[in-house]
Amino acid sequence: MWLIIIFCLLIGLAIGFQMPVLLPLIYAKYMSIAILAAIDSVFGGIRGYMEDGFDTTIFVSGFIVNALLAAGLAYIGDKLGVELYLAAVIVFGVRIFQNLAIIRRYLVKKY
Amino acid sequence: MQSKSAKVSIAIVSLILGIMLAVQFKTTASNNSAQLPTRVEDVAQELNSVTQERDALAEEVISLREKLGNVRKNDEAMADLQDELQKTSMAAGTMAVEGPGIILTVNDIPRKIQAGEDPNDSIVHDSDLFTLVNDLKASGAEAISINDQRITAMSEIRCASTLILINTRRVGPPFVIKATGNPDMLESGVNISGGWLSFMKQWGYQINLQKSEKVLIPAYKGPIRFEYSVPVEKGEKAE
């Protein structure tokens, strides 16, 4: 399980660095928020996996929809003049830490 | 318990996350390497270096003009042209000149600003300067400079918040206006009653007018470019 995640992450990083794609400056901010959402989804997935409550549909849809929603909200915020991306950063940040804490507890219990 | 699809989906999602991360890393790294000056100090520093560069280039312009002059001097047949060129250069302001004239120093009103008083009323404005320059021209000034900025046919005298731009250089008070010409004519020309200088004196501006037997007026230091205008051929009629 862990091996799969790390291995796939590394492969993804390698592909990404080889790809000749560079984001325009203005989209970098939205991309960073989408990444936060994605990280949150991955940790949520791991947590669900450990709790035996893992649902593939929820996981994949959450990953895609959360990333798009976060980026979209940040974009709308920019258009409105409200720094909505801060809300996304806080929410996802908090959730990432919560998920990490739960994963840690499971690991501690397990070993 | 864990289906195969769970592992596959986690694998795919991790893969996508990795790609996103890598692209983001690359983007931020390239932004850093582009060194966008975001802080005020950085911008100020850049301004300084650009200003230095500009001054260096201005010096280069002067030395190149000298070289050009030397080349022309060598040619005997061009003596007449040389004469004409010199006259035109003096008129255009690309050559430093000296001769009798006046030195007019203008400074802000020294008294302290009272409550409710507009500070704008006590400083020298761009309009004051160009009115004085105009008076000098009308009294036969041959060459004029303000704080060593030669007034050429294309020079601007323009307000730029607390300073004044002349030849795109920032100039601040006290303003030393030098003009060559008949000193008596120039003096009476600007001192004429009802003229702008008399008003400025009444309002309390610090004004000092000196006649001098030798006034040195520097050359215009910037480049001269014509991007839109071309000379009219002799046969054509200017409309």
Sequence spans of domains, chain B = 42-74, 98-111+120-217
Smallest Cβ distance to A16: which of B2, B6, B21? B21
In chain A, which residues have their Cβ closer than 8 Å to the Cβ of B12?
8, 60
Rounded-to-integer distance, Cα A65 and Cα A72, Å? 10
> Three-state DSSP class for B192?
coil
Report the alpha-carbon distance of residue B128 to residue B200 in Å, rounded.
8
Mean pLDDT, chain B, rounded, equals 83
- Is pLDDT larger for residue A109 or for residue B113? A109
Which residues are B140's β-sheet partners? none
pTM confidence score: 0.48
Token pair of B141 as six digits: 């000034």
Q: DSSP characters for B73-85? A: HH-GGGHHHHHHH
Contact B171, B202 (CB under 8 A): no
Share above pLDDT 90 across residues of chain B, in percent, rounded to a whole number: 13
B208 part of contact set with chain A, CB < 8 Å: no
How many angstroms separate the CA atoms of A32 and A67, rounded?
A: 10
| Structure confidence at residue B77 (pLDDT) | 61
Burial class of B96 by CB neighbour count within 10 A (0 to 12, 13 to 18, 19+): middle
Q: Given a cut of 80, is residue B204 above it in pLDDT? A: yes
Let me know: does B151 contact B196? Beta carbons within 8 Å. no
Q: What is the ipTM of this complex?
A: 0.82
Average pLDDT of every residue of chain A: 85
Tell me how close the Cα of B25 comes to any Cα of chain A, in angstroms. 9
The domain defined by B98-111+120-217 folds into Alpha-Beta Plaits (3.30.70)
Whole-Å CA distances, A65 to A72, A76, B33 = 10, 16, 33
Q: Given this model, what pLDDT does residue B37 score?
A: 52
Question: Where residue B100 falls among pLDDT bands split at 50, 70, 90?
Answer: very high
Chain B interface, best mutation among A1, A3, A5, by max B CB count within 10 A: A5
Edge-to-edge strand ranges of the sheet holding B163-166 = B157-160, B163-166, B169-171
Would you call A25 and B31 a contact, using CB atoms and an 8 Å cutoff? yes
Burial A14-31 (b: 16+ CB within 10 A, else e): eebeeeeeebeeeebebb
Q: Do B15 and A12 touch (CB under 8 A)?
A: yes
Give the residue with greater pLDDT, A10 vs B35.
Answer: A10
A106 touches chain B (CB under 8 A): no
Instruction: Quote the minimal CA–CA distance from A107 to chain B in Å.
Output: 17
**Per-residue pLDDT tens digits for B106-130:** 988 887 777 777 777 788 888 888 8
A-B contacts at Cβ under 8 angstroms: 115
Percentage of residues of chain A with pLDDT beyond 70: 100
| β-strand partners of B165 | B158, B170
pLDDT at A96: 92
Strands of the B97-107 sheet, one edge to the other? B149-150, B143-146, B175-180, B97-107, B206-217
B chain contacts of residue A30, beta-carbon cutoff 8 Å: none
When pLDDT is cut at 50, 70 and 90, the band that residue B7 belongs to is: confident
Set of chain B residues whose Cβ sits within 8 Å of the Cβ of A1? 2, 7, 10
Give, to the nearest 10 degrees, the angle between helix B4-34 and helix A56-80.
30
Structure tokens at B99: 């001769």
**B67–chain A Cβ distance below 8 A for any pair:** no
pLDDT digits (tens, 9 = 90+) for B57-96: 999 998 888 888 777 777 666 777 778 888 888 888 888 8
Classify B166 as helix, strand or coil.
Answer: strand
Residue B1 confidence (pLDDT):
44
Portion 29-58 of B in contact with A at CB < 8 A: 30-31
User: Touching check for B9 and chain A: CB below 8 Å?
Assistant: yes
Helix (H) or strand (E) holding A69: helix A56-80
Rounded to whole angstroms, how far apart are CA atoms B222 and B149?
10
pLDDT value for A54: 80
- Report which of B147, B108, B214, B57 is spatially closest to residue B155, judged by C-alpha positions: B147
Q: Considering CB atoms only, which of A4, A23, A28 is closest to B11?
A: A4
Q: Are B9 and A60 in contact (CB under 8 A)?
A: yes
Each residue of B41-61: pLDDT tens digit? 788 888 889 999 999 999 999
CA nearest to A85, candidates A15, A13, A35: A35
Q: Is the pLDDT of residue B18 over 80?
A: yes
Is the Cβ of A29 closer than 8 Å to some Cβ of chain B?
A: no
Q: Choosing among B1, B5, B20, which should be mutated to test the A contact, i.e. which has the most A CBs within 10 A? A: B20
- Establish if A82 touches chain B: CB-CB under 8 angstroms: no
d(C-alpha B129, C-alpha A15), whole Å: 66
Q: pLDDT tens across A48-102, in order?
A: 888 887 888 888 888 889 888 888 888 888 888 888 888 888 999 999 999 999 9
